Amino acid sequence: MTLFSFDPGVTKVGIACWRDGVLVAAETLTSPSMDATPGLVAAWVQGFGHPEARAIVTERMHKRPGQTLFNEDLDRVEAVRLQIPRLLGRRNWTKTYNPTQWKGNLPKAVHHRRLLKALTEAEAPLWPAGHDARDAVGIGLFHLGRVKRGGILP
């Protein structure tokens, strides 16, 4: 089975592809506009084929009371996030995780060091440079049960 894990954004989306639980690709996609982002992501996913054997997992951020600007940004991220499954011929995501479920409250640098340790020797060269793609890898590792919350090895 092919799994795609996403760290969504308005014009930047971290994405990772897994085949039978093994990382095969990860990168941050950047689009020129919010309207172009879902199509860019769908094209990347479709390049890996096998739409019938595809699971898609994502992060969904929480709104925070009193943080109006942050919440408006989240509304835009959510609008992009909800379009992606539809463009892939799906009604919804296979699974959605909030950040505290898979990441906890760790600083990104600490969490990313832990995630890198969870990759195999063959997967380590695929470790992406950007934090969006690294988070997509982390969401995939968590979904696959290869790490627990906070990037802890099982």
Question: What's the domain count of the chain?
Answer: 1
Residue span of the structural domain in which 19 resides: 2-151
| Residue 124 belongs to domain with CATH number | 3.30.420.10
70 has pLDDT over 70: no
Q: Which residues contact 121 (CB under 8 A, 6 or more apart)?
A: none
In this prediction the pTM is: 0.91
- Look at residue 86 in the predicted model and tell me its pLDDT: 85
Q: Residues 113-136: what's their mean pLDDT?
A: 96
- Residue 48: pLDDT band with limits 50, 70, 90: confident
CA distances from 53 to 20, 35, 50, 85, 94 (A): 11, 27, 6, 14, 12
Per DSSP, the residues of 1-25 read -EEEEEE--SSEEEEEEEETTEEEE
